[in-house]
């Protein structure tokens, strides 16, 4: 297993994020927004600058954390824009050395079962784009979307039935879903398709909220022991989300920019220290 971090969970200043990554022994970083620019809107010059910086610090790009399909179901114009985002993110991934593109399954506006067939049909145009671009589409379990749980991610993967559709597993996100247990139950639903993993922690009582890694209810030791038994050699990517001054729900659902990154360097530094200690004891 290799450590990584989301650069914008540290700072919009890429150099600050890369220095923190190296200090904690990370081998890679995940790109979502840099210099106040969302990843699909990075210019070719900015992408070259990112690649140069990664090379100079000896770091890899672990994944592209795209916003693809964090848009409305039944909105053809928005979806076409997001398919263009996908094409751009696949190209950026190739330039930075990764084929893993994170994406979602549209904003959740009610029970998934009521719109499930439309979710599949409107997600499907992403598949030939990924196939042509040699990319893997990692669906994240994100409660604000119709791929909100590990169970929904698994169902979408199985019913789309494409070798390019995989899982990006986020135990901390699963805590936000009542009645689920991130590890072992939910994890084992998506384990056969997992290509990447995000690290954040959360509690449910007295209210559901993100907390520093180790202070929440995720069974990290059990999770990491099973990953070792399985021979997982991908990334554990720190997507901190916790801040000394709590982020708003909108900032967590639509991360990016300087306000989102504020306080992130301290928070990510602390959470990586906690993660390293948990890994040593697992």
Rounded mean pLDDT of the chain?
A: 95
Q: Is the pLDDT of residue 247 over 80?
A: no
What is the mean pLDDT of the segment spanning 179-201?
97
Q: What is the pTM of this model?
A: 0.94
Torsion of CA 258, 79, 141, 28, to 10 degrees: -50
Q: How far apart (Å, rounded) are the C-alpha atoms in residues 87 and 196?
A: 20
pLDDT > 80? residue 245? no
pLDDT confidence band for 253 (50 / 70 / 90): low
- pLDDT at position 246: 64
> In the chain, pLDDT over 70 holds for what percent of residues?
98
- All structural domains of the chain, each given as residue ranges with its CATH number in brackets, are 2-281 (3.20.20.150)
Predicted confidence at residue 249, as pLDDT, reads 73
The arithmetic mean of pLDDT across residues 165-177, rounded, is 97
Q: How many CB atoms lie within 10 A of CB 224?
A: 20
Residue-level pLDDT at 65: 98
Average pLDDT over residues 210-231: 97
**pLDDT tier at 252 (50, 70, 90 boundaries)?**
low
Note the pLDDT of residue 258: 72
Residue-level pLDDT at 150: 98
Provide the phi-psi class of 74: left if phi over 0, else alpha when psi is between -120 and 50, else beta.
Answer: left
Res 260: pLDDT:
75
Distance of CA 178 to the CA centre of its chain: 21
Mean pLDDT, residues 95-109 = 98
Q: How far apart are CA 150 and CA 187, in angstroms?
A: 7
Whether 237 has a pLDDT exceeding 80, the answer reads yes
In 3D space, the residue among 53, 31, 52 whose CA is nearest the CA of residue 42 turns out to be 31
Between 4-8, 50-54, 188-192, 240-244, the lowest mean confidence (pLDDT) is in: 240-244
Distance CA(201)–CA(208), nearest Å, equals 11
The mean pLDDT value for 20-32 works out to 98
100-103 and 136-140: which strand pairing? parallel
Tokens of 236: 């554990």
- Predicted confidence at residue 256, as pLDDT, reads 73
Question: Residue 140 forms beta bridges with which residues?
Answer: 168
Return the higher-pLDDT residue of 249 and 51: 51
Distance CA 102, CA 116 (A): 20
CB-CB contact of 265 with 242 (8 Å)? no
pLDDT higher than threshold 80 for residue 270: yes
Which segments of the chain does DSSP mark as H helices, in order?
Answer: 14-23, 44-57, 76-96, 116-123, 126-133, 150-160, 171-174, 187-190, 220-230, 249-253, 258-261, 264-281
Provide the token pair at 24. 């904690």
């Amino acid at each position: 297993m290799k450590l990584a971090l989301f650069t914008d969970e540290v700072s919009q200043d890429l150099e600050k994020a890369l220095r923190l990554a190296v200090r904690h022994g990370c081998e890679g970083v995940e790109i979502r927004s840099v210099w106040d620019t969302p990843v699909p809107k990075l210019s070719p010059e900015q992408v070259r600058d990112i690649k140069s910086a990664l090379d100079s610090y000896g770091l890899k790009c672990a994944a592209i954390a795209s916003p693809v399909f964090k848009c409305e179901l039944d909105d053809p114009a928005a979806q076409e824009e997001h398919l263009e985002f996908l094409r751009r993110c696949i190209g950026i991934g190739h330039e930075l050395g990764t084929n893993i593109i994170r994406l979602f399954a549209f904003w959740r506006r009610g029970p998934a079962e009521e719109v499930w067939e439309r979710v599949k049909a409107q997600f499907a145009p992403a598949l030939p784009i990924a196939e042509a671009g040699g990319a893997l589409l990692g669906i994240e379990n994100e409660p604000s979307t119709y791929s909100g749980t590990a169970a929904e991610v698994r169902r979408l993967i199985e019913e789309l039935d494409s070798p390019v559709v995989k899982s990006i597993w986020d135990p901390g996100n699963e805590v936000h879903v009542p009645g689920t247990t991130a590890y072992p139950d939910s994890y084992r639903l998506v384990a056969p398709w997992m290509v990447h993993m995000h690290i954040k922690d959360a509690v449910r009582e007295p209210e559901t909220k993100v907390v520093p890694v180790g202070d929440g209810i995720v069974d990290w030791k059990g999770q990491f022991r099973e990953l070792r038994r399985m021979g997982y050699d991908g990334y554990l990517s720190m997507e901190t989300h916790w801040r000394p001054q709590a982020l708003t729900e909108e900032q967590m659902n639509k991360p990016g920019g300087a306000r989102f990154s504020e306080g992130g360097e301290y928070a990510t530094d602390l959470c990586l220290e906690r993660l390293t200690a948990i890994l040593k004891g697992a």
